[in-house]
A and B are shown apart, each in its own frame.
Chain A
Amino acid sequence: MSSITTRDAPRGFSAQQYLTCLTGIVWREGLRFLHQRERFVSALVRPLVWLFIFAAGFRQVLGISIIPPYETYILYEVYIAPGLMAMIQLFNGMQSSLSMVYDREMGNMRTLLVSPLPRGFLLFCKLLAGTAVSLLQVYAFLLIAWFWDITPPSSGYLTVLPALILSGLMLGSLGMLISSGIKQLENFAGVMNFVIFPMFFASSALYPLWRVQEGSPYLYYLCEANPFTHAVELIRFALYGQINWVSLAVVAACTIVFMIGAILAYDPSRGLARRGPAGGEG
Chain B
Amino acid sequence: MTSPAPIPEPQEALKLEAAAVPALSIDGVSHSYGQRRALIDVSFNVQPASFTALLGLNGAGKSTLFSLITRLFGIQSGRVGIFGHDISKSPGEALRLLGVVFQPRTLDLDLSLTQNLLYHAALHGISRSEAAERSTELLGRIGLADRAGSKVRDLSGGQMRRLEIARALLHRPRLLLLDEPTVGLDVKARADIISQVRQLVTEQGIGVLWATHLFDEIMPSDDLVVLHQGKVLAQGPMNGVVTEAGAQDVNTAFMRLTGAQTMPGGGA
Q: Using a CB–CB distance below 8 Å, which chain A residues touch chain B?
A: 1-6, 9, 11-14, 16-18, 20-21, 23-25, 27-28, 31-32, 35-36, 106-108, 110-118, 122, 267-270, 272-273, 275-282
Contact = CB atoms under 8 A, between A and B. Distances in A.
B72 to A, nearest CB: 6
Given A1-B204, A1-B205, A268-B74, A32 B108 contact: yes
A282 B59 contact: yes
B70 A114 contact: yes
B97 interface: yes
Contacts of A113: 70-72
B104 A6 contact: no
Contact of B118 (A24, A36, A272, A275): A24
A209 B104 CA distance: 49
Interface stretch (B124-132, B184-192, B239-247): B124-132
B125 A106 contact: no
Residue from A16, A17, A111, A118 having most chain B Cβ neighbours under 10 A: A111
Contact of A111 (B67, B91, B120): B120
A24 B120 CA distance: 8
B103 A282 contact: yes
Nearest to B62: A282
B172 A273 contact: no
A247 B115 CA distance: 40
B114 to A, nearest CB: 11
11 contacts: A3-B14, A13-B92, A20-B126, A24-B118, A106-B104, A116-B95, A269-B88, A273-B73, A277-B63, A281-B58, A281-B59
B5 interface: no
Q: How large is the interface on B (under 10, 10 to 19, 20 to 34, 35 or more residues)?
A: 35 or more
Contacts of B258: none
Nearest to A24: B122
B96 interface: yes
Nearest to A270: B74
Closest 10 CB pairs of A and B: A24-B122, A17-B125, A269-B74, A116-B95, A115-B123, A116-B96, A107-B106, A107-B104, A268-B74, A4-B18
A1 B203 contact: yes
Contacts of B115: 28, 31
Contacts of B67: 277-278
A108 B122 contact: no
A116 to B, nearest CB: 4
Contacts of B110: 31-32, 35-36
B73 A272 contact: yes
Contact of B174 (A6, A118, A282): A6
B96 A27 contact: no
A189 B107 CA distance: 26
Nearest to A112: B123
Contact of B71 (A13, A21, A31, A114): A114
B174 A23 contact: no
Contacts of B96: 9, 116
B72 A110 contact: yes
Residue from B21, B74, B203, B205 with most neighbouring chain A CB atoms (10 Å) = B74
B95 A35 contact: no
B33 A276 contact: yes
B124 A108 contact: no
Given A21-B125, A27-B119, A117-B123, A268 B63 contact: no
A5 B23 CA distance: 12
B38 interface: yes
A113 to B, nearest CB: 6
Q: Which of A12, A112, A116, A268 has the most CB of B within 10 A?
A: A116
A271 to B, nearest CB: 9
A6 B64 CA distance: 26
Contact of A273 (B18, B74, B121): B74
A20 B130 CA distance: 12
Contacts of A12: 92
A108 B64 CA distance: 17
Nearest to B112: A31
A31 B85 CA distance: 35
A13 B67 CA distance: 24
A9 B172 CA distance: 12
Given A27-B119, A106-B104, A114-B100, A11 B93 contact: yes
